[in-house]
């Protein structure tokens, strides 16, 4: 009877570390799923800069229309150094046009903003 208790005790004791490791991994997975990285530049945060830049650089290519707002913003890719986005630009002439836009940090550390009406 004592040997059976010892065997049962060994089996139960050997299962505890495995169970703790499984719970630890589950806990890590749950935390990492809930954490959002807060990037300095996002598709939402650069809209005003894109809009201001187009007002300063009116082009005959766009019939001298600036980008006044960007709707349906979608993040294509994002990292600390680069964000690439798509959306619908509301132009100063009232038209709406698909748009690709974003920003990146160049080799000397300057932030470069870009956009292209599609």
Residue-wise DSSP of the chain:
-HHHHHHHHHHHHHHHHHHHHHHHHHHHHHHHHH-----SS-TTTTHHHHHHHHHHT--GGGTTPPEEEEEEEEEEEE-SSEEEEEEEEEETTS-EEEEEEEEEE-TTS-EEEEEEE-
Is the confidence at residue 39, as pLDDT, over 60?
yes
- Average pLDDT for 16-27: 59
pLDDT for the residue 1: 57
Is the confidence at residue 27, as pLDDT, over 80?
no
Work out the pLDDT band at 28, boundaries 50, 70, 90.
Answer: low
pLDDT for the residue 5: 67
Contact at 8 Å (CB) between 97 and 73?
A: no
Q: Would you state the structure tokens that stand for residue 83, as one six-digit string?
A: 């964000």
Q: Would you state the structure tokens that stand for residue 110, as one six-digit string?
A: 């300057």
**Within 13 Å, how many C-alpha atoms sit on residue 25's CB side?**
5
Between residues 110 and 6, the one the model is more confident about: 110
Is the confidence at residue 86, as pLDDT, over 70?
yes
pLDDT for the residue 40: 84
pLDDT for the residue 38: 73
């Amino acid at each position: 009877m004592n040997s059976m208790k010892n065997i049962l005790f060994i089996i139960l004791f050997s299962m505890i570390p495995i169970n703790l490791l499984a719970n630890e991994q589950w806990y890590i997975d749950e935390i990492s799923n809930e954490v959002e990285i807060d990037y300095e530049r996002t598709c939402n945060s650069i809209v005003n800069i894109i809009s201001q830049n187009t007002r300063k650089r009116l082009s005959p290519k766009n019939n001298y229309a600036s980008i006044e707002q960007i709707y349906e913003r979608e993040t294509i890719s994002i990292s600390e150094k680069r964000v690439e986005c798509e959306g619908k630009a509301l132009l100063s002439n009232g038209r709406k046009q698909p748009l690709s836009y974003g920003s990146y940090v160049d080799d000397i550390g300057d932030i470069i903003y870009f956009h292209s009406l599609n």
